[in-house]
Structure 1
Amino acid sequence: MTCKMRLVSAKAMIGMAAAALVIAVVGCSESASTSGEAPATGSQPPPSAEEAGAEQTEPGESDRDVVAAPGDGGDEQPEPAPETTTMAAGTRGDSSPAVIDFEPIASTPREDVPSGLRDRRHPDHPEPLIDLSEIRSGGPPPDGIPPLENPVFEPAGEVDWLPEVEPVLALEINGDARAYPLRIMTWHELVNGTVGGTPVTVSYCPLCNSAVAYDRRVGDRILDFGTSGELFNSSLVMYDRQTESLWSHYTGQAVVGHLTGTELDLIPVQTVSFEDFLSSYPQGHVLSLSTGYGRSYGQNPYEFYDSSSRPFLFSGPFDSRLEPLTRVLALRAEGEGAVIPLDVLSERHVVPFSFAGRELVALFEPGTASALDSPNIAEGRDVGATGVFVRSVDGQPLDLSVSAGGGFVDASTGVVYDILGRPSDPGGTALEPVEHLDTFWFAAAAFYPDAEIIGQ
């Protein structure tokens, strides 16, 4: 049976007085394949409080401390197959898929500890790191937005369904390069898998427009993550299936439950165009459309959200130094934060700066579509791609500028680097990436209230 999707008017839903629209999954008893019936989409992004003629209010009864167990409602994901790289089903006629195995690393079992997902105030929990009243329901139940487990990948050079300008999350570990298209991530938000022998979770939150990747290893545990259905500062709240602790997608820190205070190790990930990824990693692999779910991949369920005036489901104060949905490049280290407004970076293309005792350089290249603009992601406005790197290579300082032939040239050596820090010389040393977020200002300011604004 095919999962049918519809838009449900959510006036007065989730404790808000403003009218809104939320995505709901209904009538689904088993997952649909991507070759099945395409669900209907076409949602407008949630209107701002100003547009709805009402102010957003504090959370109501739906922001309870005891929530449904995971899997209550939404889709039930099919039993995951071993993680593989293969052609996407239905994309190349009757071609037989060539399979390349990537050995998955199994997660550790569920532990017999109190659940932070189902009972945030359990007396055995450590003290929460956030105000529990500020956790808000996003509408779906736990895993109602279904994460992908042991995902299928296909060779980047064989992908013919992904337009060059579409945004992908680029991740490389131990020479294993993967691209996660936002046309898929927008509908699933989390992917648990193994890259370069490392168990990772890759996450994208549309509401705060941020992508992160984390190492899933915590001590002797190998965690896997689900979507809790909750938000904090309009940012995804994840939960781990081993202890059911709640984690901030934005910071990688457990904030409620047995593992409170534990932090995941960040792995640098960049949002770039598919063309950029393919040019840098022609032997890389792309997350396949063979997800096991029927979704309108390529359609944007958050139409024109990034041009609205106010974020959705955010009740915190706004930092007036920038407009709330201003796109920024954000960095964090040891509790400190800094941002570079995208309009500054897109004008200069190269911004050298210092942060947390390191000499860094931020780069910008046009040619990447917004995933939160047009109804069709490929037609989204050009918001470009960014990268942040250590401003030296092989112990020598870098002096980068835009190269006439594309990329960024070092004045001292003449070596040209692309937006992913890869050198034009095949034997050259790649730039060292620095983890950063392409995000909205309201979220960066909420998590790092004293963030420095660079370039103003």
Structure 2
Amino acid sequence: MKRSFLFFLIPILLLIILEVMSVYFIMPFPGSQLGLTDAESGPASLGRVELAYWLHKNIGWLRIVGLLLLAYPAFSIIIKPRRTWHRYLAGGLVLLYGAVLYQVNMEMMADHMFLQPIHKRVVPMSENKIPLNKLVVGYQSMGQATAYPIQLIGYHHQVRDTVGGEPVMITYCTVCRTGRVFSPVVRGQADEFRLVGMDHFNAMFEDKRTGSWWRQATGEAIVGPLKGKSLTELTGRQMTLGEWAAEHPNTRVLQADPAFAEKFDGMKNYERGLSKGNLTRRDSASWKPKSWVIGVERSGASKAYDWNALETKRILNDVLGNEPLLLTMAPDSVSFGAWSRRVGVKTLEFQYANKKLTDKETGSVWTWRGHCIAGALVGQRLTAIPKAHQEFWHSWRSFHPDTERDITQ
């Protein structure tokens, strides 16, 4: 093969590889995402994200250099090819590069695959069209409550809103089953974020002002100028819209944008664990990568609780970070709560029998929401534990490598 053709072949192949690598490490291609086991959660995995970030920030000038190196040999092959097949092969490779360039930058980029609402509508319950049995991430602030259906935010990945006069960022990652609410305020100013890819199978966002990349599950910036900083996590709660509305009768509800009806329809089975996709399906057995758990953080400690155990027993008593903890399951078997078992100076132990939740100390009757409705403690309310999330087991252990696992139930 003549030297002039080699001088063409090498840069065109490098340009193609460059485009592929710019998305490979931050999208769920085979082998691209580490983090399904604790051993894979270390520096080697983060190094891949750092490489992807470097390519993302430098790909412009890398393309220019590659095209400049390509220009003269390409001209020589087209004008005076040593062999006719060189011209056809060169033309084919140029077309291939163009196709890869288009696919990577227009089809494979995360923010082109999962779009933001075009017509965002947040309405009162009197105008709501979302069924009451749909799961939502609910958030309230300054007396205003809003529900965000998982079927909708699971596609969008993030929705910006204002609740109680404050900007909020409602996020969801279907591959981790993580719903989080954050304040988008960075360094005293509300920023804009776009979905840029994945890390450990978890959504990553890029802020507009500094270009730093942030993990959705933790709100931490992992690369970029703000590396090590964290968004302020706000207390969101997951339950059915019906249960949320029972607590917050004046809630607003995010409605489906008709422009994405087909996308939403494809996610209708996700929230109940009936998705067929390998990335979003549920493992019905306990402690498998895609098994559901409730992960709880308290006073620097973290622990995962088996969803199947809670569904069977309806309540779980435990102690985490010196805090007596109670997990409760609602009658609908999909809504849950996490509460402190302290009431004044007392620490209560709870039991569930004959479809009734009572404390052993006084025999008082409680709801799954932590409200005492009968007995010596009537009128008392348990204090909610804010950082309690339902998610896939692989996600919780990836981002909480020191987590305990509750296997006593």
Q: Name the larger-Rg structure.
A: 2
Q: Is residue 300 from structure 1 mapped to residue 238 from structure 2 by the alignment?
A: no
| Alignment-derived partner of residue 158 in structure 2 | 190
| Alignment-derived partner of residue 201 in structure 1 | 169
**d(CA) in 2 for partners of 1:443, 1:424:** 37
Q: Is residue 118 from structure 1 mapped to residue 85 from structure 2 by the alignment?
A: no
Deviation at 1:181, TM superposition (A): 0.8
| Alignment-derived partner of residue 385 in structure 1 | 335
**Do 2:151 and 2:267's aligned partners in 1 also have CA atoms closer than 8 Å?**
no
**d(CA) in 2 for partners of 1:397, 1:247:** 39
Deviation at 1:210, TM superposition (A): 1.1
**Do 2:341 and 2:382's aligned partners in 1 also have CA atoms closer than 8 Å?**
no
TM-score w.r.t. the length of structure 2 is 0.65
Deviation at 1:366, TM superposition (A): 4.2
**d(CA) in 1 for partners of 2:341, 2:243:** 21
Unaligned runs of 5+ in 1: 1-12, 16-21, 23-45, 47-54, 68-114, 123-136, 314-319, 368-382
Deviations 1:367-398 (A, max 9, x none): 2xxxxxxxxxxxxxxx6122212223455544
Q: Is residue 155 from structure 1 mapped to residue 105 from structure 2 by the alignment?
A: no
**Do 2:337 and 2:384's aligned partners in 1 also have CA atoms closer than 8 Å?**
no
Greater displacement, 356-365 / 291-300: 291-300
**Do 1:151 and 1:193's aligned partners in 2 also have CA atoms closer than 8 Å?**
no
**Do 1:280 and 1:422's aligned partners in 2 also have CA atoms closer than 8 Å?**
no
**Do 2:144 and 2:251's aligned partners in 1 also have CA atoms closer than 8 Å?**
yes
Q: Alpha carbons of 1:209 and 1:365: their partners in 2 closer, same or farther (altered >3 Å)?
A: same
Instruction: Please tell me the residue identity of whatever aligns with 2:247.
Output: S
**d(CA) in 1 for partners of 2:112, 2:55:** 11
Instruction: Please tell me the residue identity of whatever aligns with 2:396.
Output: A
| Alignment-derived partner of residue 314 in structure 2 | 349
Deviation at 1:246, TM superposition (A): 0.5
**Do 2:151 and 2:268's aligned partners in 1 also have CA atoms closer than 8 Å?**
no
| Alignment-derived partner of residue 31 in structure 2 | 57
Q: Is residue 170 from structure 1 mapped to residue 138 from structure 2 by the alignment?
A: yes
Deviation at 1:155, TM superposition (A): 1.3
Q: Is residue 363 from structure 1 mapped to residue 328 from structure 2 by the alignment?
A: yes
Q: Alpha carbons of 1:185 and 1:283: their partners in 2 closer, same or farther (altered >3 Å)?
A: same
Deviation at 1:446, TM superposition (A): 1.6
Q: Alpha carbons of 1:259 and 1:151: their partners in 2 closer, same or farther (altered >3 Å)?
A: farther
Unaligned runs of 5+ in 2: 1-18, 22-26, 34-47, 61-104
Instruction: Please tell me the residue identity of whatever aligns with 1:345.
Output: L
**Do 1:148 and 1:192's aligned partners in 2 also have CA atoms closer than 8 Å?**
no
Greater share of helix residues, 1 or 2? 2
Instruction: Please tell me the residue identity of whatever aligns with 2:366.
Output: V
Q: Is residue 260 from structure 1 mapped to residue 260 from structure 2 by the alignment?
A: no
Q: Alpha carbons of 1:409 and 1:287: their partners in 2 closer, same or farther (altered >3 Å)?
A: farther
Q: Alpha carbons of 1:363 and 1:144: their partners in 2 closer, same or farther (altered >3 Å)?
A: same
**Do 1:166 and 1:181's aligned partners in 2 also have CA atoms closer than 8 Å?**
yes
**Counterparts in 2 of 1:38-437, with a 5 A limit?**
56-58=30-32, 118-119=56-57, 139-142=108-111, 144-148=113-117, 151-159=120-128, 161-228=129-196, 230-289=197-256, 291=257, 293-296=259-262, 299-301=265-267, 306=273, 312=279, 322-332=287-297, 336-367=301-332, 384-393=334-343, 396-402=346-352, 408-409=357-358, 412=362, 414=364, 416-419=366-369, 421=370, 429=381, 431-437=383-389
**d(CA) in 1 for partners of 2:137, 2:364:** 28
Deviation at 1:294, TM superposition (A): 3.2
Deviation at 1:277, TM superposition (A): 1.1
Figure out how many residues of one structure are paired with residues of the other and give that number: 318
**d(CA) in 2 for partners of 1:395, 1:158:** 45
**d(CA) in 2 for partners of 1:116, 1:335:** 33
Instruction: Please tell me the residue identity of whatever aligns with 1:152.
Output: R
**d(CA) in 2 for partners of 1:192, 1:427:** 36
Instruction: Please tell me the residue identity of whatever aligns with 2:116.
Output: P
**d(CA) in 2 for partners of 1:430, 1:141:** 41
**d(CA) in 2 for partners of 1:209, 1:347:** 21
Deviations 1:164-219 (A, max 9, x none): 22111121223221110112112211011221233211111111111011122233
**d(CA) in 2 for partners of 1:303, 1:191:** 21
**Do 2:123 and 2:255's aligned partners in 1 also have CA atoms closer than 8 Å?**
yes
Instruction: Please tell me the residue identity of whatever aligns with 1:57.
Output: G
Instruction: Please tell me the residue identity of whatever aligns with 1:392.
Output: R
Of structures 1 and 2, the one scoring higher in RCO (CA 8 A, sep 6+) is 1
**d(CA) in 2 for partners of 1:293, 1:183:** 14
Q: Percent identity of the aligned residues?
A: 19
Deviation at 1:57, TM superposition (A): 2.8
**d(CA) in 2 for partners of 1:304, 1:277:** 19
Deviation at 1:405, TM superposition (A): 7.4
| Alignment-derived partner of residue 451 in structure 1 | 403
**Do 2:193 and 2:208's aligned partners in 1 also have CA atoms closer than 8 Å?**
yes
Instruction: Please tell me the residue identity of whatever aligns with 2:340.
Output: V
Deviations 1:256-300 (A, max 9, x none): 1111111122222222111111211111111123x4733237523
Deviations 1:332-386 (A, max 9, x none): 357643100101111121112122232221111242xxxxxxxxxxxxxxx6122
**Do 1:329 and 1:342's aligned partners in 2 also have CA atoms closer than 8 Å?**
yes
**d(CA) in 2 for partners of 1:66, 1:142:** 20
Q: Alpha carbons of 1:299 and 1:201: their partners in 2 closer, same or farther (altered >3 Å)?
A: same
Q: Alpha carbons of 1:384 and 1:14: their partners in 2 closer, same or farther (altered >3 Å)?
A: farther
